[in-house]
Structure 1
Amino acid sequence: MKQKTKTFDFLLMISPLLLSGFGVVMIYSASMVTSVLIRDEPAYSLALKQGMWLAIGLVVFLFASYFRYTMYLKLTKWIVLLMFVGLLSVELFGVTINYSKSWLSIGPFSVQPAEFVKIGLIIYLAAIYTKKMAYIEDFFKAVLPPLVITSALLALIIKQPDVGTAAIVFAIACTVIFSSGIKFKHLSLLIFIGLIVLIAVGFNMVTDEKISRFTGAYHPFEDPDESGYQLIQSYIAIGTGGISGVGIGQGIQKLGYLTQAESDFIMAVISEELGLFGVLFVLVNLSIIVLRGLFIAKKCENPFGSLLAIGVSSMIGIQTVINLGAISGLLPITGVPLPFVSAGGSSLIVLLFSVGILNNIARHVNYQRFNEETAETEDTKEPKTRTTGRLRRNYSS
């Protein structure tokens, strides 16, 4: 029992669960008035739905925490197939919400397959580049082939269009590829080509609504009633909160002034109602998850596990930066939710599943370290070098 307890990474268990539970509370606070007055639903409707997603997410989290992460190496082909099936299903049967055809309607729930592509692509790239690590410096043989699948997935996401998710997927792919040992000049070339393609596609898809997102982000007061309205309301919410906030449930901006208050702009509500203390609570817990993930990646001796941990950590970190950049005017508003806190079932399940994988990697890393520490303290007849070697062979199998 002591050995099993020592393998758990309690920070990686507590932080995402704290954020997820806190998210349900803040979603209730942010949506209780608009649910009644605008959506004609009970005040608790969105919070209840998020709570149901959280219950499912907890099951997924526990499964991923106990399912040996090396098994995903054998499931790579099926994961790639499911990613394409999900995105093509959106193309054929998808529902348009907020100008994007990104959702599949399943009864009373809506699922966003592009969210699942994030973790699916991390697993795929980590697996494929682990297998190609012996000749990773060969650009055409090792680096280029997986990019065909990555590019096809990005094209399907951009076509929806979902620029925010596409940007996250592109950044995650670059992070995993760079961490696999690719030459810097090759990575630079890939980023350059990728940006050129994204810009070219962006110009072909330019609409007044997309242009307004840029003008609203960088010149909000030039059009305070239209393109700049959302960001200005976010500024008001953030400025009103101060150090300790006006009190949970007492915020004003969520009363129809700040749209998407329960999802993309939930940090603005947190800032208004809980002030700097609430913001720091969220940022500290998100930082713990990201930094622990990177620490585990460094300690993991299995290349696949290390790349997986880097991919999951980068996904959470990148998504956080984009969301906070949007509510503060540093980046255009792209509809990217705040990890674990914003309303959204697909995002929450993917994040809890991803952190579950991270926990599983941590458990194996801690298990190996525990055995090695035990071997050092026990008076065994077998040399320590042989014991360590056997453990490593068992760990990597």
Structure 2
Amino acid sequence: MKKYFATYFRNFDYPLFITYILLCLFGLVMIYSSSMMVAIMELRPPDYYYAKQLTNLKFAAVAFLFGAFFPYKHYSNKMILVMMMIVMAILLFWVTFFGVGKAETGSQSWISLFGLMNFQPSEYAKLFVILYLAGSLYKKGLKENAIQNVQPNDIIYPISIWLLILFSVGMETDLGAVAIIGVIAMSILIFSGIRGKTLGKFAAVFGIFGTIIIGAVLIIKDDILNASRMGRFLVLKNPFEYADGSGYQIVNGYLAIGAGGLEGRGLGQSIQKLGYLPHPETDFIMAIIAEELGIFGVTIVIAGLAFIVLRGLYIAMTTKDPLARMIAGGIAVWIGFQAFLNLSGLSGIFPLTGVTLPFISYGGTSILILSLAMGILINISMYYKFDKRKQS
């Protein structure tokens, strides 16, 4: 054990770890700044959301340590895959029949854990899809002695699990999570090393069945394309035409960004957080960062996220282990695509989806699962560096 830890820390990815810590701490500061007025208007202490996120980070630290020290190769173990699937099934069943949040957010996406906290299964589903698809493809590749030869009918069971998750999350009307889970699945296939023609078959299977599932969700949940959600598409052309309705949040986000300019108003000096932007500590926290810290604050966040994404992609493209490649690539694409959805929604390029800005926005489940994913990525990086040293 002593030798393992000595080897581990000698190959530990300190730049990746430091970037993760700095983003979490920066996010904590900005949550405090952006949520003070929200908490006061709710007749709560000014540091209410800050204190809750601080508690969330303590749990996230435990999840990170587990991911960092648990060898990633075990995620291809059949027993572990079955255990993860059982947890996923329980969470999806629970949120489908006993989920909360419909009245507040329009999505029945949370599970109330004995009134102590809310857990969002769709966040776990993102990491589960990465680990389950990667582990299943890897096991099949080992059995056949070449992952390149895996065919769609060889892993029909994992594909069916993915479709079931997509359907269940769609029934929650969490459209942002549906998009992320779909992109994650395709990224795993791309990083798997499957031959081009076979990859095309997989893409066709995923596309056809994914479209059928989404169509079924739209038919069953006829309130998904309601006036509020349709309004998110209408505002893309000119949100100022809908400033009193569906464009309200985007317009006030623009005002915050414009007021910040290059230098910003100063930490804690935002005007838009004073009741103009609803719950700015969640998906619109970047608007407050831009208003208070200007281009400097925005650059810190984007540079930090870009480093994590590029580091994950570099590991995925240079490692010789297919399992490491799929998991590292899946995590990198997940973080990058979720950040893109958040920032493009804020800027009016893409419809608002309500997804959090990774490591920055307020949200217990988000920071918990992302921290676990970062621990796994660092574990992969450690093995990657160890293998490189052995070969040199």
TM-score normalised by L of structure 1: 0.89
Structure 1 residue matching 2:111: 3-state secondary structure? strand
Structure 2 counterparts to residues 198-237 of structure 1, below 5 A: 200-201=215-216, 203-204=218-219, 205=222, 206-237=225-256
Structure 2 counterparts to residues 242-253 of structure 1, below 5 A: 242-253=261-272
Match of 1:378 in 2: none
Moved more, 149-158 or 289-298: 289-298
Q: Deviations over 1:333-381 (max 9, x none)?
A: 11100000000000001101001000001111112222333xxxxxxxx
CA contact (8 A) 2:140 2:150 kept: no
Do structure 1's residue 102 and structure 2's residue 109 form an aligned pair? yes
CA contact (8 A) 1:217 1:231 kept: no
Do structure 1's residue 80 and structure 2's residue 85 form an aligned pair? yes
Q: 1:365 to 1:177 in 2, by over 3 A?
A: same
Amino acid at match of 1:23: G
Amino acid at match of 1:113: P
Q: 1:140 to 1:69 in 2, by over 3 A?
A: closer
CA distance in 2, matches of 1:24, 1:2: 32
Q: Could you tell me how far 1:135 is from its partner in structure 2?
A: 5.9
CA distance in 2, matches of 1:63, 1:80: 19
Moved more, 40-49 or 191-200: 191-200
CA distance in 2, matches of 1:51, 1:120: 25
Match of 1:326 in 2: 345
Alpha carbon RMSD of aligned pairs, Å?
1.8
CA distance in 2, matches of 1:20, 1:283: 13
CA contact (8 A) 2:167 2:217 kept: no
CA contact (8 A) 1:135 1:142 kept: no
Question: How many residues are aligned here?
Answer: 372
Match of 2:372 in 1: 353
Amino acid at match of 2:365: S
Q: Deviations over 1:98-155 (max 9, x none)?
A: 0111111122311101101111110000011112233654534235432111000110
Q: Could you tell me how far 1:191 is from its partner in structure 2?
A: 5.2
Structure 2 residue matching 1:257: 3-state secondary structure? coil
CA distance in 2, matches of 1:257, 1:121: 37
Unaligned runs of 5+ in 2: none
CA distance in 2, matches of 1:199, 1:214: 18
Do structure 1's residue 113 and structure 2's residue 117 form an aligned pair? no
CA distance in 1, matches of 2:74, 2:92: 24
Equivalent in 180, 184, 200 of residue 185 of structure 1: 200
CA distance in 1, matches of 2:56, 2:175: 25
Equivalent in 145, 166, 169 of residue 154 of structure 1: 166
CA contact (8 A) 1:157 1:166 kept: yes
Q: Deviations over 1:8-36 (max 9, x none)?
A: 11111011111111111100100101211
CA distance in 2, matches of 1:51, 1:131: 39
Q: 1:199 to 1:5 in 2, by over 3 A?
A: closer
CA contact (8 A) 1:6 1:370 kept: no
Structure 1 residue matching 2:235: 3-state secondary structure? helix
Q: 1:155 to 1:3 in 2, by over 3 A?
A: closer
CA distance in 2, matches of 1:195, 1:302: 29
CA contact (8 A) 2:68 2:376 kept: yes
CA distance in 1, matches of 2:216, 2:345: 22
CA contact (8 A) 1:136 1:143 kept: no
Structure 1 residue matching 2:109: 3-state secondary structure? strand
Q: 1:159 to 1:203 in 2, by over 3 A?
A: closer
Structure 2 counterparts to residues 1-397 of structure 1, below 5 A: 4-37=8-41, 39-74=42-77, 75-96=80-101, 97-106=104-113, 107-133=115-141, 134=146, 136-137=148-149, 139-182=151-194, 183-190=198-205, 192-193=207-208, 196-197=211-212, 200-201=215-216, 203-204=218-219, 205=222, 206-373=225-392
Q: Deviations over 1:292-317 (max 9, x none)?
A: 11112233222111111011111101
Q: Could you tell me how far 1:2 is from its partner in structure 2?
A: 7.4
CA distance in 1, matches of 2:153, 2:211: 23
Q: Larger C-alpha radius of gyration, 1 or 2? A: 1
Q: 1:125 to 1:188 in 2, by over 3 A?
A: closer
CA contact (8 A) 1:339 1:351 kept: yes
Unaligned runs of 5+ in 1: 374-397
